[in-house]
Structure 1
């Protein structure tokens, strides 16, 4: 479809179809090719291209090595998973954090479901009282424009005497599996200035009384974990023969302070962030096993949506497996001394992966 010459009507339909499937980057690439032959473009298409530029910038950052301009704060190799935390300070008081965490393929859909259900964030994100008061007190979805696009409001408690903070951000989930083999979710602060990038039906809310609004931007990228990743070997030993998905999460928040005390930076990056990420992985495990009741009930109500998510994720995993098999076959052709043994091991591993593959029944069992 992308190589064909399109008239304007056909272009509009093709772009609209890609957007409906949450393939925003594919739609943007199609538009750019069309722009080489025509300068006419609608405002909706301009909006799509603006958003695509932001998303592509976030992808590029998450695909780059964190060794370049990030400070490594620490790493964890616990039973829930392996992850490394990095941070940097930008423009005075803007703290940017990054987490690199390989997960087994059976955790992918449960983890996506936990991240997607914004209305339940306050149910599992812990609240800290010492040495600083910090935590999510409320989270809710203000608007939903499509199955992968929502606006979220999160309210947080912060250390006294600072006023409680409120973040309002736009979340778009992008399926770029066909072209690049990854899924990305982009979070962008919503302000009166950038409301024009949202559908016209969105009504920008005022700041809640007693709160001050802060900025929160971020992105999370899911892709096949490179074998040279720092946490690959450790995570591979724990995944029972499954392939690994690298989850890269980067975010920054501007708390609207003149500066961020180093003690608060240390607490967020050394303590709070690691605890929250461990909780996220633990909740995803509980969702996978069907023991996280609140999440299971919400997911059961959105059966069609999560079956679509599972289908796309399975397509992503199949592509990973195909590439892995191609690489393995190439290796066998170079080493013909033990083909039967390797083929046998491959078969056993495939059977183990098949048994470990997560299905929707794990979290929809309340309906059975």
Structure 2
């Protein structure tokens, strides 16, 4: 009995693609390498900065750090297997790939897809755990808890479908084994199942990214935000916008190439663009999750560097000069602008809280004091 997969392959053979068709830009190896590796390096840089800050500076690691480490590791596996699949036919038409390496290509794609779906769930869980450390009270905390439960169930469901697309799993890359494997969803058993799995994941992934991204934006509209807080939130907004944009583009590619016809199964031809977008999406999500952790430490380091330009301090006090005759008391003792002789001779002006914070943050120095003297005739002196 011929399986559904074999029937589709026979139909593709009856209408083979043009062997002279030019490769799209996204299918060129140089594009796939160049569009993914730099962002992956930036993502790992952000993760390492985050871990250094949490373990060495703040010394308060949490569950959000644990999940971001797992996300980075699975993302690394996804990246390596994606690059390996390029060497085994990724970017070419399925029917034009040498059958001797086609099985190896499918093995790399299996690990790549399963690792990617797991990464998307882990980075969302990490972000929500991070929110729970920030929002101790208010309506945002129960919102994050409910969303954390939804994301966990969502991530487990799609990760299971990706790691076990066929029973046995080896059926994903070996359809000719006996008895025939039972595949579904991401296992490309049939057109309807493959379409539902790819579009369903892309749509729900985009929706969850958007909701999780909007949660911290509630802080952006609070009054009396300092300039540095506004800049930090703006940076977070820009990175989060890229994540959401990549999610939207991934949904577009999934819907575009899942039109319930045999071209859907030629995924080695149309999948490179989807993989590139997926890699960029996850990399920016990791950077977005890590930036609020290590950015304050960088700002503090820069402020300490600027402090080396402060070479002198001036201490300022104000008092009345006494007359040469010791029997004469300070004049104007009853003036509301002066202190009596019983109250002391000095008065130090205190900086406001905002000025103090700004000065300490920028220069790392203590508040400045200036000493001023006033003689009996009202002339000032330093």
Identify the structure with the greater helix proportion.
Answer: 2
TM-score, length-normalised on structure 1?
Answer: 0.24
